[in-house]
Structure 1
């Protein structure tokens, strides 16, 4: 009886750990993991196991901006179950990252983009056990080509962050509830008066959409869009198309 009371306040409670096959992934990539649940000192009723893809998103409000943890996608892995003292349960798990998962591995000093998997047990009358696994998300080929064009055109990435909200442009719209912004500035005074460029990407299975915001010295901000097919020809044309849009 004494052990049951201890478990109900989170002492000796069940623990959970997510073991990833690899934490180095691309947006939209399938990943494999094993969820390990270890029982505590007393039997416990687990009302479910949840896995969530998380990021830290910037929220704009009347009182200024702040960052909050945001769920990108979520999976329910198991239903109600009793775990016995010392028992170990192993659950294989396979899923696909959302294609709009923010990129974390970027050539930028001020990187506010972070992505992780959070695993939690909902334990009746007990504190939740939780596990947090950072993910390293790399750009797909279309995004890599855009980053290379920006660098060769004399622009330096100054900041990367994730914002809460949706992108909407003719021909495409984001659907994850978050979007990433990559902020660039020219290394020298731009011939076309460009002070700043912001790139946001909306990847799909066979193409990647790009929203480009241009801040010019002598005019208001302007928006351009670009769609890059995931083909050899589409990737070859990125340099010309993006350089034309920067003019």
Structure 2
């Protein structure tokens, strides 16, 4: 028995863990449910703690350039304090809340290239911690889907989606990062902007929508950005004319860019101003994120992932899969 415990402390013959999430995509602000399946090793082990960490692949800009890494944005203790007998199988069900600002990873069942995961940590007395990493799918809230549907109907398309480390000043942002959805402009706005970025900051009582238009300069003109922010409710979504509402936001955004230029929207007491990025400033140089090259085109059935730049949805799945390469699927043990 002592020898078996020694092997367990070296990660040999110890218990294994495999977390299985309940089918279907979760919703921001909703519940994440599933079960943690444990299998005993070659000896009895005391399970001190079972923890779930919500992790995301996030991009960051700094003086030396750009980088990306894994960020833990929530952690829950879902079990522990029991002995797992040799060879015993046990399941621990869980239900934990998702933050309202949890990024969306899919639209109409198509992946957006956002990598979110649930990392399970198994703390075992006298043994190495075991781990399991599972992909987390998050569907848009009804109000988010209504706005995205309206953008598609207006002629906008998704160019990419990524997560940016930093905070948007003047907002109620809670997480240490925010999601940017980069859109190709509708034909009627193609002369006014090169792209538009949309960020959703959801909360229990409503949602902030941040829109930014990017107009890169030519040989004899400087580039111009403009930003506007609106707040919408989660209620009465089906009674709203979202095409008209969203189009009015974009018209306001274009007017602001024309009136104030690249800096005034941030510097002259603007009611919608606020830093957009690290600290209180917006970073205008956008990197090619994990979903770059993906377009979400408008169609009769709504928005669906398309092809641009030679990248297809399957390749996006492969890139997101790289984030989960530590999950070998053999007992759920993470290397």
TM-score, normalised with respect to structure 2: 0.67
**Residues 17-36 of structure 1: matches in 2 within 5 Å?**
17-36=18-37
From 230, 236, 242, give the equivalent of 1:238: 242
- 8 Å CA contact retained: 2:167, 2:178: yes
- Residue 175 (1) aligns with residue 174 (2): yes
Deviation per residue, 1:46-66 (Å, 9 max, x gap) = 331110112111122222111
Bigger mean CA deviation after superposition, 83-92 or 57-66 = 83-92
Residue 226 of structure 2 corresponds to 222
**Residues 150-161 of structure 1: matches in 2 within 5 Å?**
150-161=151-162
Bigger mean CA deviation after superposition, 221-230 or 127-136 = 127-136
| Count of residues in Structure 1 that have an aligned counterpart in Structure 2 | 245
- 8 Å CA contact retained: 2:154, 2:186: no
Structure 1 distance, partners of 2:136, 2:185, is 30
Q: Per residue, is there more strand in 1 or in 2?
A: 1
**Residues 1-247 of structure 1: matches in 2 within 5 Å?**
1-106=2-107, 111-169=112-170, 172-186=171-185, 188=187, 190=189, 193-216=192-215, 220-232=224-236, 236-247=240-251
Deviation per residue, 1:133-191 (Å, 9 max, x gap) = 2122111111112112222222211000111222233xx32101121000012254736
Q: Which runs of 5+ in 1 are unaligned?
A: none
Structure 1 distance, partners of 2:5, 2:105, is 43
Q: Does the residue aligned with 2:195 lie in a helix, a strand or coil?
A: strand
Residue 330 of structure 2 corresponds to none
Shift of 1:19: 2.5
Q: Per residue, is there more helix in 1 or in 2?
A: 2
Shift of 1:219: 5.6
Deviation per residue, 1:86-144 (Å, 9 max, x gap) = 12332221122111111110379994312121111123443321112212211111111
Q: Which runs of 5+ in 2 are unaligned?
A: 217-221, 252-335
Structure 2 distance, partners of 1:109, 1:238, is 22
Q: Does the residue aligned with 1:4 lie in a helix, a strand or coil?
A: helix
What RMSD over aligned residues (CA atoms) do the two structures have, in Å?
A: 2.4
